[in-house]
C-alpha cells in the first residue's frame, strides 16, 4: 500500500543521495507545485537549499506577498525575493507570438537562477516542481503524434552552457497527489487548495503584447472574478478559473458616454489532471454579476465574455 508518508520518506532519502553536500537553488512561482517541492527539499537538506521567489511582474493580485509570508513566517524557510519585473517586461515588449513569450520567459528564469546560484556561492542543482503531466505534454499530446503543444517553462530545455543539474522530486506525481503531499508536509489548506498557476504567469493570459499596464488591468479583473467565485462557494469545485485580457477593443456605452476598451474573457474548467477539461457551467446570474462588476470597476475593460471551450480541442490557458 503506497502512502504519501512513505513517498515523503523515500523522496527525502533520494534527494539527500542525489545532492550530497551540494547547494541547491529552488525557484518558487507562487504555485502549489514549487512550494511543495521546496518544502520537501528543505526537509531533506535544510540550509543547503536556497529558495528564490522570482517576481517577474506576471503574478496575480497579492500573490507575491502570500508566498513570501508562507515561507518566511509559516515555515521559517529563508527566501530571496527578487523583483525582476523590469527585466521580464522589458524583454516581452513587442513580443506577441505565444511560443516566443514562453521561450523568452523560460530562458530569462534560467538566467536569473544562474545569477542567484553564483550569489549563494555556487549551487550545483536547480530544483523545480515539475509534475508528470508537464513532462508528457511537453513531449507529445495524449495519444497523438509527437508534437509540442506548448513549451512548458519548467521542463527540460536548460541551456547547454548551464552547469546546474535538476532536482525534480514531483516528476512522477499528478496534481491531486501533489496536494496530498502538501497536506502531509503541513502546508496551509488555503495554499494546498489553490488553483494551478502557470510558470509564465499572466503573460500567457494576455494574447498580444504584454505590458505592465495590461498586467495591472488583468490583475484587477481576475481578482474580482476569483472573489466572486470564493463568495459563491465554488472555488473548490473548479480546477482553474481566471480572466484573460484580449487584444481586441469594442465599443460600449457607460452613462452618456461612448467607451472603446478591451474585452475580457473568463475561463473556468473542471479537470482531474489538467490533461483534459470541461467548462464549468456557471449559472447566468453569477456570470452577469461578475461581468457587471468587472466593467464597472476595472478601467480599460468594457465587455466580458465566457469561454465555452473544453480541452480538447481548446487548451486551458489561451497561449
Ligand atoms: P494547458 O493550457 O496546456 O494547461 O491546457 C494545462 C495545465 O498546465 C498549466 N500550464 C503550465 N504550468 N508552466 C507551468 O508550470 C507552464 O509553462 C504551463 N503552461 C500551462 C495550465 O495552467 C494548466 O493547469
pLDDT over 70 (residue 3): yes
Domain boundaries, the chain: 4-192, 211-306
Protein residue with its CA nearest to atom 12 in ligand 1: 198
Query: Mean pLDDT lowest for which of 94-98, 128-132, 141-145, 236-240?
Result: 141-145
What are the pocket residues of ligand 1 if the criterion is a CB atom closer than 6 Å to any ligand atom? 137, 150, 152-154, 196, 198-200, 240, 274, 311, 315-317
Joined together, the cell numbers standing for residue 42 give: 528543505
How open is the CA angle 17-18-20, to the nearest 5 degrees? 65
| pLDDT band, very low/low/confident/very high, at 159 (cuts 50, 70, 90) | low
Pocket test for ligand 1, best of 27, 107, 134 (most atoms within 8 A of CB): 134
CA of 203 to the centre of ligand 1 (A): 12
Q: What is the mean pLDDT of residues 98-102?
A: 96
Mean pLDDT of the chain: 91
Q: What is the pLDDT of residues 274-293, one digit of tens each?
A: 999 999 999 999 999 999 99
User: How many CB atoms are closer than 10 A to CB 89?
Assistant: 18
Which numbered atom of ligand 1 lies nearest the CA of 31? 15
Class of domain 211-306: alpha beta
CA of 52 to the centre of ligand 1 (A): 21
Give the residue from 268, 217, 208 showing the smallest Cα distance to 238.
Answer: 268
Q: CA 127 to CA 170: how far, in whole Å?
A: 10
Pocket test for ligand 1, best of 37, 103, 198 (most atoms within 8 A of CB): 198
Q: Which residue has the higher pLDDT, 143 or 156?
A: 156
Q: CA 41 to CA 16: how far, in whole Å?
A: 9
Q: Which fold has domain 4-192?
A: Rossmann fold (3.40.50)
Q: Binding site for ATP: residue ranges?
A: 29-35
Instruction: Kindly give, in sequence order, each residue whose CB lies less than 8 Å from that of residue 300, ignoring residues fewer than 6 positions away.
Output: 213, 217, 261, 262
pLDDT over 70 (residue 239): yes
Q: What is the pLDDT of residues 248-265, one digit of tens each?
A: 999 999 999 999 999 999
pLDDT over 60 (residue 88): yes
Q: What is the pLDDT of residues 29-54, one digit of tens each?
A: 888 999 999 999 999 999 999 999 99
Pocket test for ligand 1, best of 139, 316, 318, 319 (most atoms within 8 A of CB): 316
Q: CA 173 to CA 188: how far, in whole Å?
A: 20
Query: Mean pLDDT lowest for which of 72-81, 248-257, 305-314?
Result: 72-81
Pocket test for ligand 1, best of 37, 144, 317 (most atoms within 8 A of CB): 317
CA of 198 to the centre of ligand 1 (A): 5
CA of 152 to the centre of ligand 1 (A): 7
Q: CA 99 to CA 157: how far, in whole Å?
A: 13
CA of 61 to the centre of ligand 1 (A): 19
Which numbered atom of ligand 1 lies nearest the CA of 151? 17
Protein residue with its CA nearest to atom 6 in ligand 1: 274
Q: Which residue has the higher pLDDT, 307 or 154?
A: 307
Q: Binding site: residue ranges?
A: 29-35
CA of 256 to the centre of ligand 1 (A): 42
ipTM of the complex in this document: 0.99
Please tell me the pTM assigned to this model: 0.89
Query: Mean pLDDT lowest for which of 156-165, 235-244, 282-291?
Result: 156-165
Which numbered atom of ligand 1 lies nearest the CA of 195? 24
Which numbered atom of ligand 1 lies nearest the CA of 150? 3
Q: Is 282 left (phi over 0), alpha (psi -120 to 50) or beta?
A: beta
Amino acid at each position: 500500500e503506497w502512502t504519501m508518508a512513505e513517498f515523503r520518506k523515500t523522496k527525502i532519502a533520494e534527494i539527500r543521495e542525489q545532492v550530497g553536500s551540494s547547494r541547491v537553488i529552488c525557484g518558487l512561482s507562487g504555485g502549489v507545485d514549487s512550494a511543495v517541492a521546496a518544502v520537501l527539499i528543505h526537509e531533506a537538506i535544510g540550509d543547503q537549499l536556497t529558495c528564490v521567489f522570482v517576481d517577474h511582474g506576471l503574478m496575480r493580485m497579492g500573490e507575491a506577498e502570500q508566498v513570501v509570508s508562507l515561507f518566511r513566517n509559516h515555515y521559517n524557510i529563508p527566501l530571496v525575493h527578487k523583483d525582476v519585473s523590469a527585466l521580464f517586461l522589458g524583454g516581452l515588449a513587442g513580443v506577441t507570438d505565444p511560443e516566443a513569450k514562453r521561450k523568452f520567459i523560460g530562458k530569462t528564469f534560467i538566467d536569473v537562477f544562474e545569477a542567484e546560484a553564483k550569489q549563494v556561492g555556487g549551487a550545483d542543482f536547480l530544483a523545480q516542481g515539475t509534475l508528470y503531466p508537464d513532462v508528457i505534454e511537453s513531449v507529445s499530446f495524449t495519444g497523438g503524434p509527437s508534437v509540442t503543444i506548448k513549451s512548458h517553462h519548467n521542463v527540460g530545455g536548460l541551456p547547454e552552457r548551464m552547469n546546474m543539474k535538476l532536482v525534480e522530486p514531483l516528476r512522477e506525481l499528478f496534481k491531486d497527489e501533489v496536494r496530498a503531499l502538501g497536506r502531509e508536509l503541513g502546508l496551509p489548506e488555503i495554499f494546498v487548495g489553490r488553483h494551478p498557476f502557470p510558470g509564465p504567469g499572466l503573460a500567457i493570459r494576455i494574447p498580444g503584447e504584454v505590458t505592465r499596464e495590461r498586467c495591472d488591468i488583468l490583475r484587477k479583473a481576475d481578482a474580482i472574478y476569483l472573489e466572486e467565485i470564493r463568495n459563491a462557494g465554488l472555488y473548490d469545485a473548479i480546477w482553474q478559473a481566471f480572466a484573460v485580457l484580449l487584444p481586441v477593443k469594442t465599443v460600449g456605452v457607460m452613462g452618456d458616454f461612448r467607451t472603446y476598451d478591451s474585452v475580457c474573457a473568463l475561463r473556468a474548467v473542471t479537470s482531474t489532471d489538467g490533461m483534459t477539461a470541461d467548462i464549468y457551467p456557471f449559472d447566468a446570474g453569477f456570470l452577469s454579476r461578475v461581468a457587471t462588476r468587472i466593467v464597472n470597476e476595472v478601467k480599460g475593460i468594457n465587455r466580458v465574455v465566457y469561454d465555452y471551450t473544453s480541452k480538447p480541442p481548446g487548451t486551458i490557458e489561451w497561449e
